[in-house]
Structures are given as structure tokens and as C-alpha cells.
């Protein structure tokens, strides 16, 4: 089914750099590709790879180096040369894990066990936020638009100071949220009067029309409504956008997803899932009243669900998804023409990453298939291991050497096959990402599968040593059986 193409407004691609920050050379290649695909701008979430200095220097990543000031400037210059605007996203309330994880910042948490939410009552917290914003704005010459985050402010109202504040009659958690966001937005406007301010909308979704009108945010911010699901509720989303418009916030943004929203640990992107999400957004856009002024859409590509979660899919395996999503917005459907443009531009035969020719993406898909194969992932639950090499049998060294050697051979074969593929992935990934990202990816995706296989081979050797005379004999037996 066809819908009108996405209405006028910017098409931003979200670069989530809080995990797997691309090497600068690859970042420039991505910007070049984004430009060719029709992207108007970048929504850049730096977190700890921004070169904060002074008292905020502790925010810089330690696992991998932050980008240098020159690298941040060169990225912007290159993007501008391709006709793309750069909009920084700086979290100012929720998802401040990269700030509040540091011991010297612990006292600024809303509650001790929630690392992401800032205590809205402490002036020191606002000063930290404003200093972060100042440094980011200063390193983005000519900046006209800033995203202040403010999504998923978990546990708000649960801190002791918040409980005291809420004890006064008529005060609500909604007002507490609005008071902090309004304070930050007003401070931004005071410092940079020309600045357009975007914020995530989710904390405002349940607010009444009257609450929104009296929020102090009307005329101050432009809400960005996010929904990354393939079955997005069109009617509900339209109603939300219309509500914001009726409250006086007619300038609105949408946020879809091209990767990083399937599950927290997804390794390979499902293009169809993200295509469906964009088709739903096209339905939303076609259903809005003329009063709603859609400023654009941010196509998000989350690299982590939050600062402390594992890596989602890497960008190379999600490029087909991004291209499909963009062409769908441009054409109003994923037509044969749109598919031809995607496959032609990327030099691929299919839009599903499983058939991509790009080297790293291809290797990741192949390795992922191995890691998720039942024979390997559930090897410990196979008939032979459970029947002749159970934990009980291993502990008592009561095993059948003949079958145990077969188990050893199979586990060794799986390990060798995986290791060969892992080394190929490591080599290609290191060309695009820092070594810390390569190591993290392998430890998260590969080690949980290889560790049980490695333990089995070691346990077999230990058991057979007890049952066959002489260490040299057992190694000879195992070598010959291979």
C-alpha cells in the first residue's frame, strides 16, 4: 500500500556514539553515504566520547579515547560540505549514567540505586548540565538546534528531597519533571537566544492538555515523539501529536528507528521490522491535521539501550535497513523503484543483511549463524554430553573413554571453526572501530558460546588422564582421534 511521501522537514540520522564509536575515517565515509541516501542532518549523541575538559574531563571514556576537538570539528565541517546539519543530543535529566556513574557525582542522583536520573533539586546538578551544554555548544560553531534529551527519567519522585517537595499540596511528579526541564530550557535560551531546543516527549505523554499548556514549555521546546515498533499505534500517535499541537507546541518531530531497538543484545538487523516501523510513521504523517508542523524525523540507530547495557547491532549490518527506511520515506512505500535504488546504491542483491556482500556485515552474519546454531549453542545439552559426560560423571571421573573422545573431537571442531571466523571478524572490525569495541563485541557475543565448549575439552582431558595411564598417552589418544 502506498502513502504520501514524508512531508517537508528534515530527515536526520541518529549517531549513537556511547558504544562502538566509529574511527574518524569510517565516520566520514558514513557521512558521505548518508548524504548519498538523502539525509539532511545528523543527530549526534556523544556521551563519553565528547572531549569534555576542565572539571568535566572525568566524563571522557577510558575504554577507548574520546574524539579530539579537531575530530569533532572536522566531522561537522565534512557534514556541512555534504549539506547536512549537525544537532548534538545531550542528556540533561534521565539517561545520565555516563555522568552519575562517577563517584564524585553520586550525590547528584535522584536515588542511589538509579544511575541514570539526576536529582532535580540540587543546583549543582543544573550547573553540571549547563557546563556540559556550554562545552558542546562551544565546539559546534554556528549551532542553531540542540536536543536536551529528557526521556525515561526513571525513579523521579523517589528521592528523599523529591518526597519532601511532593508533600506540599497540589504538587505532582509531572510538575517536578516540568520544573527541571523548563529550568534547563530557559537557561539554554538565556545563554543562546537563537537556539532551537528539541526534547524527547515520552515523559509528557500522560499529561493533560491543561498541564501542558501551563508547563512553561510552550514556545520553548519542540517535542520529538519516538516510537520504534513495527506495529506502532497510528491512532494513538496521531492523538498525541494533536494534543501537543493543541497545547501550543505545533512544531513537532518524529523519531523512528533503523537499528538498535529490536532487543538489547541483537547482533543482526531485521530490515523488515524497521521498514514496517516507517510505513506506520507514513500513516501517522498522512493522518495529521494541517495545524501540526512536522519539523522532521530522526531515524535513530541506537548502539546501546543505555550507557551500561551491551552493544546492539553495529552500523555496517544496519546500512541496508537505513537505506530502505529512507527510500520508504521518500517514496511513500518500499516500491520496486525504491528497492532498485537501495540495491544499486549499496551494490547488494537484497535488502536483508543476510545476503549482503559488505565484508564485515557478511562475516558478522555468518558468525552469528554459527553462534546461534543449535549444535553449537546447545552442545552441553546434546544426547552424548548429557548421557556420557554429565557434571556427575565428570566430578567422579566415571566416563566412557571412547564416547568422551568423540565429544572432545566435536567440541574442538566447533571451537576451531568459530575461532577462524572470529579472527576474520576481528581483523575487519578493527579497521572501522577501536580495539576496545572489537574486544567488547567478541566477549559479549562469542565468549558465552565458546567458554562451555572450552570447559568440555579441558574436562575431557582431565577425566581421561585419570582413566588412561600416563599424561603423554592421553594426549596421544586425543591427537590421534582428531
Question: Is the CB of residue 89 less than 8 Å from the CB of residue 44?
Answer: yes
Report how far residue 278's alpha carbon sits from residue 258's, in angstroms, rounded to the nearest whole number: 9
The C-alpha atoms of residue 426 and residue 439 are separated, in whole angstroms, by: 8
85-88, strands of its sheet edge to edge:
85-88, 41-45, 10-16, 293-301, 251-259, 222-226, 196-200, 145-147
DSSP-assigned letters across all residues of 364-403: HHHHHHHHT-HHHHTGGGSHHHHHHS-HHHHHHT---HHH
Closest CA to 424 of 354, 478, 345, 370: 370
Maximum separation of any 2 CA atoms in the chain, in Å? 86
SS3 call for 472? helix
- Quick one: three-class SS letters along 117-149? CECCCCHHHHHHHHHHHHHHHHCCCCCCEEECC
Please tell me which residue in 131, 152, 158, 366 is annotated as part of the active site: 152
Q: Nearest CA to 368 among 445, 287, 452?
A: 445
Q: Is 32 a catalytic residue?
A: no
Query: What is the C-alpha to C-alpha distance for residues 134 and 88, in angstroms, rounded to an integer?
Result: 12
Task: Enumerate the β-bridge partners of residue 196.
Answer: 145
| CA pair distance 268, 395, nearest whole angstrom | 39
Nearest 5°: phi and psi at 144?
-120, -15
Rounded CA separation 305/95 (Å): 10
Residues annotated as part of the active site: 152
Amino acid at each position: 500500500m502506498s502513502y504520501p511521501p514524508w512531508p517537508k522537514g528534515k530527515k536526520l540520522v541518529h549517531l549513537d556514539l556511547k558504544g562502538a564509536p566509529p574511527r574518524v575515517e569510517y565516520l566520514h565515509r558514513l557521512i558521505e553515504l548518508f548524504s548519498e541516501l538523502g539525509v539532511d542532518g545528523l543527530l549526534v549523541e556523544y556521551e563519553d566520547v565528547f572531549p569534555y575538559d576542565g572539571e568535566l574531563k572525568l566524563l571522557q571514556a577510558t575504554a577507548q579515547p574520546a574524539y579530539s576537538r579537531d575530530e569533532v570539528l572536522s566531522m561537522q565541517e565534512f557534514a556541512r560540505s555534504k549539506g547536512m546539519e549537525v544537532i548534538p543530543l545531550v542528556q540533561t535529566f534521565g539517561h545520565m549514567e555516563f555522568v552519575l556513574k562517577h563517584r564524585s557525582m553520586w550525590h547528584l542522583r535522584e536515588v542511589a540505586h538509579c544511575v541514570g536520573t539526576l536529582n532535580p533539586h540540587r543546583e549543582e546538578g543544573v550547573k553540571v548540565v549547563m557546563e556540559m551544554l556550554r562545552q558542546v555548544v562551544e565546539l559546534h560553531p554556528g549551532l542553531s538546534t540542540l536536543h536536551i534529551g529528557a526521556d525515561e527519567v526513571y525513579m523521579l519522585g523517589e528521592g528523599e528531597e523529591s518526597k519532601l517537595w511532593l508533600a506540599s499540596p497540589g504538587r505532582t511528579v509531572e510538575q517536578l519533571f516540568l520544573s527541571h526541564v523548563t529550568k534547563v530550557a530557559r537557561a539554554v535560551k538565556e545563554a543562546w537566544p537563537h537556539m532551537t531546543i528539541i526534547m524527547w516527549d515520552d515523559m509528557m505523554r500522560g499529561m493533560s492538555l491543561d498541564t501542558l499548556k501551563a508547563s512553561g514549555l510552550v514556545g520553548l521546546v519542540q517535542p520529538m515523539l519516538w516510537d520504534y515498533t513495527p506495529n506502532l499505534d497510528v491512532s494513538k500517535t496521531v492523538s498525541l501529536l494533536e494534543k501537543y499541537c493543541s497545547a501550543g507546541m505545533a512544531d513537532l518531530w518524529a523519531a523512528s528507528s533503523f537499528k538498535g531497538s529490536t532487543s538489547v543484545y541483537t547482533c543482526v538487523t531485521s530490515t523488515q521490522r524497521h521498514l514496517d516501523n516507517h510505513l506506520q510513521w507514513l500513516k501517522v504523517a498522512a493522518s495529521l491535521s494541517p495545524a501540526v508542523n512536522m519539523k522532521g524525523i530522526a531515524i535513530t540507530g541506537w548502539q546501546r539501550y543505555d550507557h551500561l547495557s551491551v552493544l546492539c547491532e553495529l552500523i555496517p549490518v544496519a546500512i541496508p535497513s537505513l537505506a530502505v527506511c529512507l527510500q520508504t520515506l521518500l517514496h511513500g512505500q518500499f516500491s520496486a523503484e525504491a528497492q532498485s535504488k537501495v540495491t544499486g546504491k549499496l551494490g547488494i542483491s537484497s535488502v536483508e543483511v543476510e545476503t549482503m556482500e559488505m565484508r564485515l556485515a557478511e562475516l558478522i552474519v555468518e558468525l552469528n549463524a554459527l553462534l546461534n546454531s543449535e549444535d553449537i549453542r546447545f552442545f552441553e545439552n546434546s544426547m552424548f554430553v548429557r548421557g556420557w559426560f554429565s557434571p556427575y560423571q565428570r566430578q567422579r571421573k566415571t566416563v566412557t573413554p571412547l564416547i568422551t573422545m568423540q565429544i572432545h573431537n566435536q567440541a574442538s571442531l566447533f571451537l576451531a571453526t568459530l575461532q577462524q571466523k572470529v579472527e576474520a571478524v576481528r581483523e575487519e572490525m578493527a579497521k572501522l572501530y577501536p580495539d576496545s569495541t572489537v574486544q567488547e563485541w567478541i566477549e559479549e557475543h562469542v565468549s558465552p558460546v565458546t567458554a562451555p565448549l572450552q570447559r568440555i575439552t579441558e574436562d575431557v582431558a582431565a577425566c581421561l588422564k585419570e582413566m588412561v595411564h600416563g599424561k603423554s598417552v592421553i594426549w596421544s589418544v586425543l591427537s590421534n582421534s582428531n
